[in-house]
Amino acid sequence: MASTQTPLVRLTSQKNFTYRLVLSTLTGRPVHISQIRPNSPANPGLATHEISFLRLLEAVTNGSHMEISYSGTIVVYKPGLITGSASGLGASNGVVRHEIPSSCTRGISYFLVPLCLLAPFSKSPMNVLFTGPGVITSATPTGDISADAVRMAILPLFKQFNIWNNIELRILQRSNPGSNGRGGGGEVQLVFGHQVRLPKTLHLMNPGRVKTIRGVAYSTGVPASNNARMIQTARGILNPLAPDTYIASDASPAPLIPAPDKNNPKGKRKTGLGFGLFLVAETSTGCLFSADVASLPSGGEPPEDIGKRCAYQLLETISKGGCVAPAAAPTVLMLMAMGSEDVGRLQVGREVIADEALIQFARDLTKFGAAGWGIRDATGENVDKDVVVSVVGKGIGNVGRKIA
C-alpha cells in the first residue's frame, strides 16, 4: 500500500524560526529545520526562546509532534489542529499559562506576533497568559518590538481582514530587559476571540496622510520623571509636523522574581528596571507606522536621547513609504497568503520589501505551497519609492470552523 504521508518541507538555519512553524501549522505540512547554529562553540542548536516557543505551540494545538536532535541543531515539527485555549497543556479555566525562563533574551512580541497569526484560525478562542522571570514587555536590543507595539500597531491591522471582535492585549506587569539583557519578570495576557473561516481579501493601495500620533512612555522601577522628559523631547520634534499628538505616561514598580539563597529560601529580587517610548502614527486611510526605543540594560542613556531617537525613528519609518511598517509587513502578507483564493494587493515601500528577512519570508511561503508574489511599480506620487505587491490567497482558512 502506497504511503500517504505528507513529505517534509526541508529548511535550514534558525532564521524566521517562528514564521516557519506558523506556516507549517496553518498549512498542515510537517517541516524539517536543520543547521541551527551548528558553528556556535558555546551554544549550538536551539536557544531558550525557540524551545519556549515550541512548548507554546504544543499548548495551543492538539496532536503536534516534535523531534529535536541530541545536539539541538535539527528540529522536525509535525503540526496538529489549532485548538486554542479550550484544552491544552497548561490550560486552566480556559486560560493557557505559559512560563518563560529567566535566560530568555527576546521580547514578548517574539511569542505574541506568531500567536496572533494562529489565533484567527483556531477552533476556539485563544487566551494565553505569559508569566515567569523571562517576560520582557519593552523593546529589546535583540530587535523585538514592545508589547505596546503589538497592541497598538499590529492588532488593529486585523480589522483590515474583517477580524476585529473580542481581541485584547493586557499588559499586567511591565518590564525591561534585566542584567545582560536576560529576563524581565513581566506579565502579559492575550485574548483573541474572533475566529474566521477565511480572512477577507485585502486591497490597500493608498497610504494617506498622517493625521494622529499616539504613544506610551513607560518606566519600570525608575522615577516617573523619566516619562515626562521623553514625552517633552518627542513632542518638541513631532508637534510641528502633527499637532494631534498625544503620548500617555505609565510608571510601574519593578517586578519581583524569586531569588532564594540558603539564608532566605523565599527571597526575591527586583529586575526589569528601565524606561522606554513607543510611538504610532495613523494615516487618513488607517495605515499605521510605529517606532520603539527602550533604555539599554547597561544604562547610561538619558531619557531625552530616548525621546529624540524614537521620534526620528518614527519619521524614518513613515519616510520609507507604503501602507505598512517594516515590523507589520510579515503579519499582513501572511494573512493575505492564507486568505480566499483571490488576488490581494498591498502598496509597500521599496526599502521595506527589500529587507532580507522579508525576502526569506517570501521564499518560505513558496516552500509551503503559496504562490509567488507579483511586484510592480506603484502609480501616482509615490511611484519612485513604492511598489505594489500582488498576493494570491492559498485558501487555507480555518479547518475547525465551517461557517464564515
Furthest CA-CA distance within the chain: 73
Condensed to tens digits (0 to 9), the pLDDT of residues 330-346 reads: 999 999 999 888 999 99
Lowest model confidence (mean pLDDT) among 85-94, 120-129, 259-268, 280-289: 85-94
pLDDT of amino acid 371: 87
Could you tell me whether strands 9-12 and 31-34 are parallel, antiparallel, or unpaired per DSSP bridges?
parallel
Is 249 a member of any domain?
Answer: yes
Predicted local confidence at residue 202, as pLDDT: 94
pLDDT of 183 reads 85
Cβ pair 11, 31 in contact under 8 A: yes
CATH number of residue 291's parent domain? 3.30.360.20
Does the pLDDT of residue 2 top 60, yes or no?
no
On the CB side of 40, how many CA atoms lie within 13 Å of its CA? 14
Separation of CA 82 from chain center:
18
Q: Is residue 220 part of a domain?
A: yes
pLDDT(403) > 70: no
* Three cell numbers, residue 357: 528577512
pLDDT above 70 as % of the chain: 95
pLDDT computed for residue 29 by the predictor: 93
pLDDT higher than 60, residue 3 = no
The pLDDT confidence band at residue 381, using thresholds 50, 70 and 90, is confident
Range of the domain at 227: 210-320
Does 148 map to a domain?
no
For the chain, the average pLDDT equals: 91
pLDDT at position 300, please?
85
Residue 351 domain-assigned? no
Number of structural domains found in the chain: 1
**298 found inside a domain:** yes
- For residue 323, pLDDT over 90 is answered with yes
Q: Is residue 281 part of a domain?
A: yes
310 lies in some domain: yes
**pLDDT (tens digit, 9 = 90+) per residue, 40-91?**
888 899 999 999 999 999 999 999 999 999 999 999 999 999 998 875 555 5
Q: What is the DSSP letter of 315?
A: H
DSSP string, 248-282: EEEEEPPPEEE---SS-TT-EEE---EEEEEEEEE
* Structural domain includes residue 18: no
Q: What is the pLDDT of residue 1?
A: 37
For residues 108-133, average pLDDT: 95
